[in-house]
Amino acid sequence: MPYVADTIAHLNRTSPAQHEFYQACEEVLLSLRPLLDNDPKYRKYGIIDRIVEPERQIMFRVAWVDDRGQVQVNKGYRVQFNSALGPYKGGIRFHPSVNAGIIKFLGFEQIFKNALTGLAIGGGKGGSNFDPKGKSEQEIMRFCQAFMNELYRHVGATVDVPAGDIGVGAREIGYMYGQYKKLTGSYEGVLTGKGLKWGGSLGRKEATGYGTVYFADNMLRDIGESLEGKQCAVSGAGNVAIYTVEKLYHFGAKPITVSDSSGFVHDPAGIDLELLKQVKEVERTSLAEYAKRRGGVRFVPVSDYPAGRNLVWSVPCDAAFPSATQNELNGEDAKELLKNGCTLVAEGANMPSTQEAVEAFLAANILYGPGKAANAGGVATSQLEMAQNASMQQWTFEEVDSKLQRIMAGIYQSASETAREFGAERNLVLGANIAGFRKVADAMIEQGVV
């Protein structure tokens, strides 16, 4: 597959030291081999060379003043990757790990994830290396306002509609939206994840976690099984993980783990959802506090993890829901999961499994839902928020949830049917990548070389 090696070598030269971006590109390109071998038009029109390059990369300085009166400076990013199917759509991440390569990998994944939803949205991503942890409300507000002072020039309801991501929740969206409105004098749906009183959608907060569980349910129902009674390991303790836990209970499953940057909790009786929400959503503290208040649980601090391992995946389970961050589950973790009887992995985070882990899951022929398919419920519901804003309506929670269930079933059907079309039944990595790529690439060809 010389085109894969050539493309990755080219990206190494032109976009140096962006390893997560190379990983995302390689994973997609390797999956596309059967399509590219069968249909030369994608090579003829230079789609591969075009699709791995963002249409626009915006990098900017974010200067703000902390509570001591000291000027702080962070880096800001917005990568507008592909608009063949609609306005750029993708979250904003505030985390110290954010750099150009992270944002590009996320934006590249977003292209195909958004295409799989069947909705009219392109792919983009943004963020900053700002860390909200330990900051006061006033510092977070000042940073969000400073960030929007630059970003507002590049976004709009039919241009680019950002949402939240790690470190960016309803509070941060509110501060950014208020500043956008002040700068532009325009009240429009330029951000999603807004408050319910001013344009937000019921169900958006729950959507990524709920959608991941709906996707897992579709995988199981296709082989005559269900989630009921299954022991489920969940990583993360943010928005995605919390609502994955909630929806697993709705299906009669038992979520037994959650994790954060301090360590992980194993709760054999089942995660106490209300306590988890209190600790993480209200008090915004670590899972060590959950363990203090909840009897019969095991808390393992990160300092006790062996080098290169994530011990949350050492807990025996029937199904795993990696819902924290990229590359949190490596080849050794995958072997441990498989050894302990895990037969389903549904990714709530973006690219949480390394390539070695993905290969192990595929080789074991377990049910494996890659992130660009399994966690697309969040961006799908963001687009539903855009539709409500455009028509000046607010749908009920039941309406939004019903649409989300249909979208996730459609994503599963598209990925599984495409996998079968190319003789790779159960390989939803190949199915999702080809289905998403084909839709975007055909639109690019029809719109000319732009």
Condensed to tens digits (0 to 9), the pLDDT of residues 89-112 reads 999 999 999 999 999 999 999 999
| pLDDT tens digits, 234-247 | 999 999 999 999 99
Position 2 confidence tier, pLDDT thresholds 50, 70, 90: low
CA 299 to chain centre: 26
Q: Is 125 a catalytic residue?
A: yes
- For the ranges 35-44, 171-180, 431-440, which has the lowest average pLDDT? 35-44
pLDDT beyond 70 at 1: no
pLDDT the model gives residue 323: 98
Tell me the C-alpha distance between 310 and 207, whole Å: 26
Please give the residue that has the higher pLDDT: either 38 or 224: 224
Tell me the C-alpha distance between 70 and 63, whole Å: 10
Average pLDDT, the chain: 96
DSSP H or E segment with residue 420:
helix 397-421
Distances (CA, A) of 325 to 16, 78, 103, 266, 436: 22, 19, 13, 19, 22
Tell me the C-alpha distance between 131 and 374, whole Å: 27
From the candidates 113, 125, 205, 254, give the one annotated as an active-site residue. Answer: 125
Tell me the C-alpha distance between 336 and 73, whole Å: 42
Tell me the C-alpha distance between 23 and 216, whole Å: 25
| pLDDT tens digits, 47-67 | 999 999 999 999 999 999 999
The answer to pTM > 0.95 is no
pLDDT the model gives residue 18: 96
Instruction: Spell out the alpha helix ranges (H) of 204-318.
Output: 204-221, 239-250, 273-277, 287-293
| pLDDT tens digits, 137-170 | 999 999 999 999 999 999 999 999 999 999 999 9
Q: What number is the average pLDDT over the span 349-372?
A: 96
Q: Which of 372, 353, 366, 359 is nearest to 411 (CA)?
A: 372
DSSP labels, 167-187: TB-HHHHHHHHHHHHHHH---
Count CB atoms within 10 A of the CB of residue 61.
10
Residue with token string 């569980």: 213
| CATH numbers and ranges of domains, the chain | 2-186 (3.40.50.10860), 205-369 (3.40.50.720)
